[in-house]
Amino acid sequence: MRSGPSGLEDMKLRACRRISYLLPQAKRSSNEVLLIGEDMPDPINILVVDDEQIMRDGSSRILSKDGWEVLTADNGQQGLEIIRNQPDQIDVILLDLMMPGMSGMEVLDHIRSIDPNLLVIVITGYATVESAVEAMKKGAYDFIPKPFTPDQLRIVVRRALDKRNLQKEAEFLRREREKSLRDIATEKSKIKTIINCMGDGVLVCDRDGYIVLTNPAAGRMLKVSETSLIGNFLSQCNLDPELSMTIEESLKSKDLNYTSVSQELGIGESGETFLRAHTAPVRSDLGETMGSVTVLQDISHLKELDKMKSEFIAMVAHELRAPIAAVEQQLNVILNRVAGDLTEKQEKLLVRAKERTKGLLNLIKDLLDLSKIEAGRMVQYKEPLTLQEIIQKVVDLMRVEAENKKIDLQFPIPSQNPLIHADRTSMEGIFTNLISNAIKYTPEGGKVWVSLSEERGFAKALVSDTGIGIKKDDLPRIFDKFYRVRTIETRQIVGTGLGLSIVKSIVDAHLGSISVESEEGGGTTFTVLLPKESNPTS
Amino acid sequence: MAKKILIVDDDPDLVEAVSMILESKNYDVAAAYGGIEGLQKAKSENPDLIVLDVMMPDKDGYAVCKELKADSQLSKIPVLLLTAVVSKISTTRYTQQMGMETEADDYIDKPVEPEVLVKRIEALLSK
């Protein structure tokens, strides 16, 4: 055992020298740690703390042969320094118990306080069982008595490394588990944050109709506090009845084709907030309904814009109408020869001019009707009526027009006379439009017939003709605003392209539906369905 | 003696056109170019019938009609309302047809065919 200030520097240098015998991967010992999820295993580092150089060099030589890296320290302080600097890097420590200065036992205590998991094999200088036992009690993993053979050393170190492997694996798994738990928690909080920050309202119900998830936007839109929603049954939340009904329907639906329902809701005492609600059932893999999700959008500003647009159209239309009406009135006077005689040519031109002003006036009237419907003012006087009475009136009015074109207009007395809840003027508008269209687009000598029946809670009216029909390409667009079918046959027919879109708006406002079937050259049939007065689901 | 008809409309072109129709049928015609003037002339001109426009800036046809019908001296004069367009969008034709907004004796859409106008006027005068 040497000591003294002269040799200390030299020894320190050597102690810190890292003896590295990195072998090619193929030759590496099978004992090397292969960590899960890592491509390159960390090198195995063994620290030898011994004051005797022979012991250090000998151990280094033996252990390096197995591909392990060996660090050496010639006293306890140095050893501890190395461990402190890289506690994760040291796998096994070989510690001599009998050293000058800090004793092995002391070093062991310190190591244990740095990291109790570090594996320490104590080297007992003279084979005393007592010191070995004491070291083991203090937490050493194993001991090896001096002198030892290279094989004895390897066996002891290998056993320690096996233990180290298990430790590392356990540690790795523990961290993974912690990480995934953390991930789940993060994911949950992320989703919660996203839902809470959303401008759209979210309402999630379980299969029993209890609200399990919602966000501040939903409460704001539905004008109820968020806390009064979560955990409560739908019917306890004072929600809009239409919305509650839709959610309950989606929960009850067993039909897999039932995907989602969109509806518009007026919220607030005077309906100042308009919401669009999309409700969809949530289904398990087996197609079982697990709950429902509703997303709410505030469309009040859209409605407001729409209203402004309609009012603007109405204003413009009014301003346009007066001068055109005056011009037509003047034409009427001239054509009536009140202002003097006309030549045949003059009359012909003026007749055409009057047709054009008439067309303009019709367009303006349609625009006004449309803006009225869009502003929600057209369908305001709903009352119980029979469609038969309405259709009969329109057919009587149209008879002259039909006879002028030699068209056979028929409305057989229906066997059923369904009662509906509707606005009379609007209903007259629908059938005036459809029947007058049928007459317009049917050549002379053709036939137009109207029929009325009942079908599953609906009044069903058909308007059919033997006219020129509608091309397949045009069919999907005929209810669009300003859409007109352009063909040679229709060129001479005056129209605004608004009639059918008005008809559709009216039908929609009455919760009905309209559809069309047609074949080019083979006539057209419009089908209008309107809910019956006594229909409980309407 | 020719019957006298008062035409009340803020659009001079319309007044002129209607006047020409009526004059060709040998009616005497008086004209007023606003609601207030219309009420004055109803008193001063002593017409047999009033053709009254609905949309006028100073006083609309409904208001004029109401005042006419409230006046015991004028209430017997038949009023033919010229409804170019309804004054308020919310007032649909339906409410007019139901007589909810007006006490006019008849109404007619503008522009009007001369024969239709003349027929309606004759009908009202012969009542």
pLDDT digits (tens, 9 = 90+) for A3-17: 444 444 444 444 433
pLDDT tens, chain B, 127 aa long: 789 999 999 989 999 999 999 999 999 999 999 999 999 999 999 999 999 988 888 888 888 988 998 899 999 999 998 876 543 333 444 444 444 456 778 888 788 889 989 999 999 999 7
Copy the structure tokens of residue A276.
């669009």
Q: Which of B84, B93, B95 lies nearest to residue A322, judging by beta carbons?
A: B84
Does residue A447 sit in helix, strand or coil?
Answer: strand
Q: Which of B13, B94, B110 lies nearest to residue A381, judging by beta carbons?
A: B94
For residue B67, the distance in angstroms to the closest alpha carbon of chain A comes to 25
Residues of B in contact with A381 (CB under 8 A): 92, 94-95
Residue A361 near residue A324 (C-beta atoms within 8 A): yes
Mean pLDDT of A22-41: 44
Contact call for B111 and A332, based on CB within 8 A? yes
Kindly report the pTM of this predicted structure: 0.47
User: How many domains is chain B partitioned into structurally?
Assistant: 1
In chain B, the residue whose alpha carbon lies closest to the alpha carbon of A377 is B90
Does residue A287 sit in helix, strand or coil?
Answer: coil
What was the ipTM of the complex prediction?
Answer: 0.79
Contact call for B89 and A330, based on CB within 8 A? no
Copy the structure tokens of residue B108.
């007619």
Q: Which domain holds residue B29?
A: 4-125
Angle of CA points A28, A32, A38, to nearest 5° = 105
**Looking at the complex, does the CB of residue B21 fall below 8 Å from at least one CB of chain A?**
yes
Contact call for B18 and A378, based on CB within 8 A? no
Contact call for A333 and B13, based on CB within 8 A? no
Say which residues have a Cβ less than 8 Å from residue B84's Cβ, sequence separation at least 6: A321, A322, A325, B53, B54, B55, B109, B110
A210 secondary structure, DSSP code: B
List the single best residue of A308, A329, A390 to mutate versus B (max B Cβ within 10 A): A329
Which three-class secondary structure string do you get for B37-62? Answer: HHHHHHHHCCCCEEEEECCCCCCCHH
Per-residue pLDDT tens digits for B23-34: 999 999 999 999
Does residue A153 sit in helix, strand or coil?
Answer: helix
Residue B65's CATH number: 3.40.50.2300
Contact call for B89 and A377, based on CB within 8 A? yes
